[in-house]
């Protein structure tokens, strides 16, 4: 069970990193085209864009949690009770994403 849960935490960290790497060039392109801000702001009101915003914040929170896990594995001794911390980090990432979704 421990290896299986570690695998999923590893996969979420990798997939969220890939999602962020794919998002950032698009984000910088949008910032570069900020002169057409009115039309862009109207576009961001679409439900699919709102869903994408929620997903990228969730990916960022998950990636941050996974990165902190990697740092902990590198520098701290691993204990059984830390599985609960990994679950708490996943719950926190989900809570951040849900809070953003409710705020939109």
pLDDT beyond 70 at 76: yes
Tens of pLDDT, residue by residue over 35-53, are: 666 777 787 788 888 888 8
> What CATH code is assigned to 2-103?
1.20.1300.10
Q: What percent of the chain has pLDDT over 70?
A: 89
User: What distance in Å separates the CA atoms of residue 46 and residue 39, rounded to the nearest whole number?
Assistant: 12
Between CA 74 and CA 44, with CA 55 as vertex, the angle to 5 degrees is 140
Report the alpha-carbon distance of residue 91 to residue 99 in Å, rounded: 12
Give domain limits for the chain: 2-103
pTM of the model: 0.51
Those residues with Cβ within 8 angstroms of residue 104's Cβ, 6 or more apart along the chain or in another chain: 50, 53, 54
């Amino acid at each position: 069970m421990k290896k299986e849960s570690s695998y999923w935490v590893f996969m979420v960290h990798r997939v969220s990193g890939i999602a962020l790497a794919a998002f950032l060039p698009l984000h910088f392109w949008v910032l570069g085209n900020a002169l057409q801000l009115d039309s862009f702001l109207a576009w961001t009101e679409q439900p699919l864009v709102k869903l994408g915003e929620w997903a990228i914040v969730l990916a960022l929170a998950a990636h941050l949690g996974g990165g902190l896990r990697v740092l902990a594995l590198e520098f701290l001794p691993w204990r059984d009770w830390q599985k609960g911390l990994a679950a708490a980090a996943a719950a926190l990432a989900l809570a951040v994403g849900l809070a953003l979704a409710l705020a939109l």
